[in-house]
Structure 1
């Protein structure tokens, strides 16, 4: 997506007493409000690439997992990815690589014990590293209830060629490891295990058929230089054609708020300075991945790949681990009520 907005004003420097104040707040302030409170106190340095993380004191933290990133496949699509016009994903119909959503989804190992035992989480890594080789297929129109849209896009990339599709898979792998440690059964909508896709409608169907307790679609934005920060996209109330989000608007907002609060707290990064009026929350009715969902679902735009400061974070493995942890802890908080 591409937006214009005011330039980013760097937050004030961290103060030496910030850690003590953060711990105190962690005991006093629940839910999404905690994230913004901590950000206001510690200054929310957007340039932190993995130094002292506030995540150490998080309730139910799954900790770091080096094995998660080691499973990430390499991406062939880095230099070919263009700026994304839509954060949805994609798959063409009638492909020999397609199949039922339950067949195509990449499932986790059997869930173990933990606070999320019995819960199903679907992670939707935006786009696919191979999409750029299949532009005709991903340009095919699909029905999203309110209108038709492209099956998918290639996604965006940093100016140096680090592809959004590679970023989303890496974060998804890290999230899968963290959530499985909490006992959840985790499914990915794609794991670079198909030439392209799936389409936005099939991505939604995968979550629906899994009867997921939560679905999170992972993305990075392609906005203008100076536009910084993350935002969480929530489904608006849509009742048109095949789309009916009325039952999921409320729980999806709660999921989004908890993710946003934990993302700020764990990463120390500010919400977007160009959409969401500083809340980190944006409601949209034009995304098929949300419109066609029948289970709680949100999109997370983790940062802006076209801004050099955000790009430095997005290309850091240490920061991606923190992003995965912040999102995962938001999911845990939502599912545990």
Structure 2
């Protein structure tokens, strides 16, 4: 998510969070059928773990054709159990640059109720399968869509601990601005370390370029030409590996919502993201 939007539908849970916008840590200033999940790693128990104790899952490469030893961390935004655990999700965690942010948020949804957390998990699984089929080791920051968290600082730590060659967070936006549509790719700026400099910028540009050539339009309401420099996103601030965050589109836009809700549409997003990651790793 980005600063410009907030989801409108509250969760009907006593004392629970409101359904908030996409990314896990938006700037302070400012039911349909479930997703079809392509499983590439064994799911964990449906019990909700503490967001700070989630263990990442990984996919073993099925091919040796990709560059040897490459590791990609995929970070599907939010989680399906977040809304039922407000105390855990609202607690403050480090967010970089001297900031703190809520551990995580619930994410947004389409107007028909298809949730961002289901969309991001499904797309991440599809991306991971495509990469693993090319021999790339894939690590996920969460193993299912029923748990809580992990917190934004832990998501960054998973990428750092994996010594990832690329970390890609997958989200969808929820702007209610009239006519708002299109994807954008966020990156840390100004950079806090070498990995956040040229490597992360190149990753963001490769994602932007490949999304465009795959038929997706750049956002018309945020960023510039599909890129958004951000200093407030914990997952990017705390990363010591090349990292970028893809907002795939606006879930509150009817056309983009229809694409995100369909399995074919999610496969299109996944194919573009996977192709971008492959291109980045090969460059």
Q: What is the Cα deviation at residue 133 of structure 1?
A: 0.6
Q: Is 1:212 paired with 2:164?
A: yes
For residues 78 and 126 of structure 1, the distance between their equivalents in structure 2, rounded to whole angstroms, comes to 21
Equivalent residue for 2:232?
A: 286
RMSD between aligned residues: 2.4
Structure 1: tracts of 5 or more residues without a match:
5-76, 90-94, 239-243
Match of 2:282 in 1: 336
Of 272, 278, 282, which residue of structure 2 is paired with 1:326?
272
Report whether the alignment pairs 1:172 with 2:118: no
| Residue correspondences, number | 251
Return the match for 2:92 from 120, 129, 141.
Answer: 141
Runs of 4 or more consecutive aligned structure 1 residues displaced over 3 Å after TM superposition: 77-81, 85-89, 95-101, 244-247
Distance 1:254 1:2 in 2: 24
Structure 2: where are the runs of 5+ without partners? 6-10, 27-47
- Which is richer in helix? 1
The SS at the match of 1:290 is: helix
TM-score of the two chains, using structure 2 as the length reference: 0.82
Q: What is the deviation of 1:246?
A: 4.1
Matched, 1:257 2:205: yes
Measure, in 1, the Cα distance between the counterparts of 2:228 and 2:12: 28
Which of 221, 230, 236 is equivalent to 1:274? 221
Contact map agreement 2:212 2:218 (CA 8 A) in 1: yes
For 1:135 and 1:270, the matched residues in 2 are separated by 35
How far apart are residue 263 of structure 1 and its match?
A: 1.1
1:193, CA displacement in angstroms?
6.5
Cα offset, 1:3, TM superposition: 2.2
Q: For the pair shown, which has the larger CA radius of gyration, 1 or 2?
A: 1
Instruction: Measure the CA separation in 2 of the matches of 1:204 and 1:114.
Output: 28
User: What residue in structure 1 maps to residue 185 of structure 2?
Assistant: 232
CA contact under 8 A between 1:245 and 1:291: conserved in structure 2? no
Query: Please, which moves more after superposition, 206-215 or 191-200?
Result: 191-200
CA 181–81 in structure 1, closer or farther in 2 if over 3 Å, else same: farther
> Partner residue of 1:12?
none
**1:46 — aligned with what?**
none
TM-score of the superposed pair, with normalisation by structure 1: 0.70
- For 2:255, the equivalent position in structure 1 comes to 309
After TM superposition, give the deviation of residue 306 of structure 1 in Å: 1.1
- Return the offset for 1:86: 3.7
Q: Which moved more, 1:285-294 or 1:185-194?
A: 185-194
SS in structure 2 of the partner of residue 258 of structure 1: helix
| Pairwise CA distance, 1:136 | 1.5
